[in-house]
Structure 1
């Protein structure tokens, strides 16, 4: 009798507790976070779920108001370089198809078109009223013949408010040395690579078959950009640069292993036409807040560079590899996040024997269109291990970022192909 009485009392209480936990992890739109937030560590009040796993290296992505997700793959899977998914009301998505027989990184939707890049070309696909691609097999090629070396070959892209498209063309060398990453190898005089790489190029978004001669070298001196976004608050292009590698291994008498692990900064730049960020002639030291002449071009680790080179808008620890940049314009997250920037750090490899860093999404506060205040880690735990000794240990590595129509944040993983969705659940 006593056990039955306890059962009648405890069962409803237990049910209430479970319902309360589920409710606490539920966003206003009814989407529920996964148990354990899909393995991610987030600020209080946030939850996360794995929307889908596509089993391939997922790069940048776009999310439509209708619940469709377009994901660009680094390499085609079964002949498809763009994977399409559709989300249900519970936030989980199913793969609905794929198209585009080319790998790459860039993905962007604007004004009835979806733009996607290979490593040498940019395509666009016409969308219908429901934001579905009308003709998957016959995209318009708007840019072709872009340089692509064995490294920094990806072509990230973004559009402004005047039908211009901006393309990263990464430099095929780490520091424009005669022998790439070699011991005491000098810089190539004048770094002739800069005529067609190491910067951001601007083209028209609606003109077909453009080549270099049709574009404008919008900004130069940028080693490699993977994450970039258009800041609507001040109508300006912002980019995240991957800083150079191998300071210690190329110049051991000038840089200790610890200095080489921390330097140079991964820099955020606010770009205007004609800007020069200084690569490969200088790097930014985020510890001393100084622009330093590269050793390949006569520097000694302390000599300051010409003041003509662009100051970064913000700077972060070295080698963390910023692969995604997104200005948050949604309304789901608390007010502090409005118009600030999320950055997806893919994770370092060139910090040994110091611990590797990155493998996280950070938040950079903004005010009046400019960085304001210290950055903070927003989402971590992607790597799945407490200390990453090399990128091969990481189970997941964040890469692309996108904003959902409800204000949730989507993050891609380019190890196993998880698509994460971060929601705000605090009532």
Structure 2
């Protein structure tokens, strides 16, 4: 998985319609509250606390009404694949763990806990208190998914009609290993997209009918938007424009392009990878240089446009639509995005490592995004070098409307609350 990304200086104004330089906001910076955790800031009126630490590579998570927290771990080196904690008195303690597989995807829906390995999706029956009844005998819902090296974790989400959506990332930057003659990427039939399965049918696998959306290099942030009943995803964009095409792109351009994109998906949509990337400076899809692009040519209009775009190489790993009532009204039905941080921003400093908020209206992005929680990386030097202390990954909403954030570097779980 693409682990660390870039913070280029752009802000979308509304959907993909326009952008502002970050410098444009310096005359009216948002008021921040220095959190209890050294160096981390949240907006005025909010508090951030650490409720668990040193768990290992904590990826996505879910929180039950009973204040149990299910955390999917990237590996089983330190624990089982799913760690269960109980939160009480401002701290979360480990109750148990289960699962002999690491991964990312995890969700609760209609009395079941769903979790994914690198090649399968399982579900566990829950009791009335949302506790797993038989952790040693999950039901296999999907199996046989591609798990070649790169981008193995399978993020997932569920809709309200009994369907589960699973990301299968491309094991590649730009399909260079599989399409040496540049005649067409042959792995698009089984990777680089979203697959839809029935949430209650065992032993499903690939089929033509289950292929939901194409041309998405890798999706880690994925969520069902209840406001407009639609699937939203955050794509990890490609790398190495300058390294592969030094005559077409400068190092600085390569550091800032392409944008990380939010897509609103319907069945049959094609976002265009590897043939297309989104240029935030030109505000349009561009033809990839591997397939005849030159940094000037636009892409075929058959590929969908993102509904919002964010700094290149920023690594969006978590997406959550906020439906709680604890936070101020402006946050209701908007999207929180956890950005993991950059690794390939040279010659510019590495940047990112934050949680941002994207306002929504009527189920669509509306207005510029803003940094919500920042400073996870540590000192300015740690951030600039990419040696971040914490890397935001998963997001979850608690029963009281609090926001939970995982860190897969130190294994920390942060909790953000609003002081009414």
Per the TM superposition, whether the score is higher than 0.5 is yes
CA shift for structure 1 position 36: 2.3
Between the two proteins, the alignment pairs up a number of residues equal to 387
Contact preservation (8 Å) 1:328, 1:342: yes
CA distance in 2, matches of 1:192, 1:252: 26
- Residue 69 of structure 2: aligned partner: 69
| Greater displacement, 257-266 / 144-153 | 144-153
Q: Output the aligned Cα RMSD.
A: 1.6
- Residue 18 of structure 1: aligned partner: none
Query: Residues 355 and 197 of structure 1: is their aligned pair in 2 closer, same or farther, counting only changes over 3 Å?
Result: same
- Residue 23 of structure 2: aligned partner: none
* Runs of 4+ residues deviating >6 angstroms: none
Query: Residues 117 and 41 of structure 1: is their aligned pair in 2 closer, same or farther, counting only changes over 3 Å?
Result: same
CA distance in 2, matches of 1:187, 1:315: 31
- Residue 282 of structure 2: aligned partner: 288
| Greater displacement, 50-59 / 165-174 | 50-59
Q: Which is higher, the Rg of structure 1 or of structure 2? A: 1
Query: Residues 312 and 383 of structure 1: is their aligned pair in 2 closer, same or farther, counting only changes over 3 Å?
Result: same
- Residue 210 of structure 2: aligned partner: 216
Note the alpha carbon deviations across 1:335-367, whole angstroms, 9 max, x for none.
000000000000111111112122000000000
Tell me which of 379, 392, 395 is aligned to 2:389: 395
Contact preservation (8 Å) 2:165, 2:195: yes
CA distance in 2, matches of 1:108, 1:187: 41
Note the alpha carbon deviations across 1:227-254, whole angstroms, 9 max, x for none.
0100000000000000000011111111
CA distance in 2, matches of 1:215, 1:118: 22
Aligned partner of residue 75 in structure 2, secondary structure: strand
1:323 aligns with 2:317: yes
Mapping for residues 116-127 of structure 1, pairs under 5 Å: 116-127=115-126
Query: Residues 264 and 99 of structure 1: is their aligned pair in 2 closer, same or farther, counting only changes over 3 Å?
Result: same
Aligned partner of residue 212 in structure 1, secondary structure: coil
- Residue 163 of structure 2: aligned partner: 164
CA distance in 1, matches of 2:216, 2:190: 12
Q: Any gaps of 5 or more consecutive residues in structure 1?
A: 1-32, 180-184
TM-score of the pair, normalised by structure 2: 0.90
Note the alpha carbon deviations across 1:139-186, whole angstroms, 9 max, x for none.
00110110112211110000000010000000011001148xxxxx95
Q: Any gaps of 5 or more consecutive residues in structure 2?
A: 1-32
Contact preservation (8 Å) 1:34, 1:50: no
**Highest RCO, 1 vs 2 (Cα 8 Å, sep ≥ 6):** 2
CA shift for structure 1 position 38: 5.7
- Residue 27 of structure 1: aligned partner: none
CA shift for structure 1 position 187: 6.1
Contact preservation (8 Å) 2:167, 2:193: yes
CA distance in 2, matches of 1:62, 1:175: 33
Note the alpha carbon deviations across 1:186-206, whole angstroms, 9 max, x for none.
564210110000000000100
Contact preservation (8 Å) 2:124, 2:135: yes
- Residue 10 of structure 2: aligned partner: none
CA shift for structure 1 position 54: 3.9
Aligned partner of residue 42 in structure 1, secondary structure: strand
- Residue 3 of structure 2: aligned partner: none
TM-score of the pair, normalised by structure 1: 0.88
CA shift for structure 1 position 383: 0.7
CA shift for structure 1 position 213: 2.5
| Greater displacement, 211-220 / 284-293 | 211-220
